[in-house]
Amino acid sequence: MTVHTPQPGQPVIELWTYFVVDPVGVPLSRRLARMSAVTPNRLTALALALGLAAAACFATGRLRIGGALFLLRFFVDCLDGTVARIQGSCSKRGAYFDLGADVVGVTAGYAALGWYLVDTGRLDLGWLLALLAMLALYNWVLDYRKRMASEAGLGNGGASHQWSASWEPLRRWVTFCNSRGVSTVPWAAEVEIATLGLAPLVLPTHVLPWAIIAALAFYVFADLLNARRVWRIAAHLDSRQPALDHEGATS
């Protein structure tokens, strides 16, 4: 059976980061990087604290404050990496701390907002449990995909983002995004921003259960897509194994 080699996945900038955060965040990061008291890990810790504060507000019904804090959390979270690159202080420990802070902050936000809606009779508990399960699966499969892709020399194992469109407005959009290393479609970051930031901030409370359900639908789709990518990468690695075994036996 012929196994097609997956295209290397390319890291891209999220749409929200590029259009909303970076115009302010990049100049601010340059200023912050010159301050000795500012370190990437301290910014990560601040982002984590803001995420937990947002979750506390969601759990106690202060939804607009929680939404604003979550948006601020995302903004601060985007600064630590830029500051680390400017200061030349990138590290494995910093990346691990940043990832852990992201997972905790986002999971706490979903859990707290969902629990408030369940507690007030607006959302069935099953929807919340399903969302948290799909979110946990998403984080696990995403990490596994990246590790397998690295082993296979396929970047991060995500989309190659090398596709064309015949419809002129869409073709221009794809060209624009590819030239700047920006995602062509909204993905997990935008779902988090929409569900935990914008929706609690601007939407009436009775609409928020639909935001939770929409987030669940996204994570189900993303989990299936990531599972497909993992399967293809695994098949590619398996197809290479006999050749590697042969080389080992003849060396």
Q: In CATH, what number is assigned to the domain containing residue 115? A: 1.20.120.1760
* DSSP output for 183-242: -SS--HHHHHIIIIIIHHHHS-GGGHHHHHHHHHHHHHHHHHHHHHHHHHHHHHHHHHHH
User: Domain residues for 200?
Assistant: 15-242
- d(CA 46, CA 37) in angstroms, rounded, equals 13
* CB neighbourhood size of 131 (10 A): 24
pLDDT value at residue 11: 74
- pTM of the predicted model as reported, rounded to 2 decimal places: 0.89
| pLDDT number for residue 10 | 63
**Amino acid 236: pLDDT:** 86
Q: What is the DSSP letter of 156?
A: T
**Domain total in the chain:** 1
- Token pair for residue 119? 């507690």
Q: Which residues, 6+ apart, have CB-to-CB distance to 78 below 8 Å? A: 17, 21, 22, 25
pLDDT for residue 160: 58
- Residue 70 belongs to a domain: yes
Residue 9 has a pLDDT of 54
SS3 99: helix
Q: Which residues of the chain have pLDDT under 70?
A: 1-10, 157-165, 241-251
> Is residue 248 assigned to a domain?
no
CA nearest to 120, candidates 112, 109, 129 = 112
H or E element at residue 133 = helix 125-152
Determine, yes or no, domain membership for 5: no
Question: Within a domain: residue 219?
Answer: yes
Tokens (6 digits) for 140: 């696990």
Amino acid (one-letter) located at 28: L
Domain assignment present for residue 59? The answer is: yes
Q: What is the pLDDT of residue 156?
A: 77
The answer as to whether 9 is a domain residue is no
Residue 2 lies in a domain: no
Residue 223 lies in a domain: yes
pLDDT given at position 194: 98
pLDDT at site 13:
92
**Does residue 91 sit in helix, strand or coil?**
coil
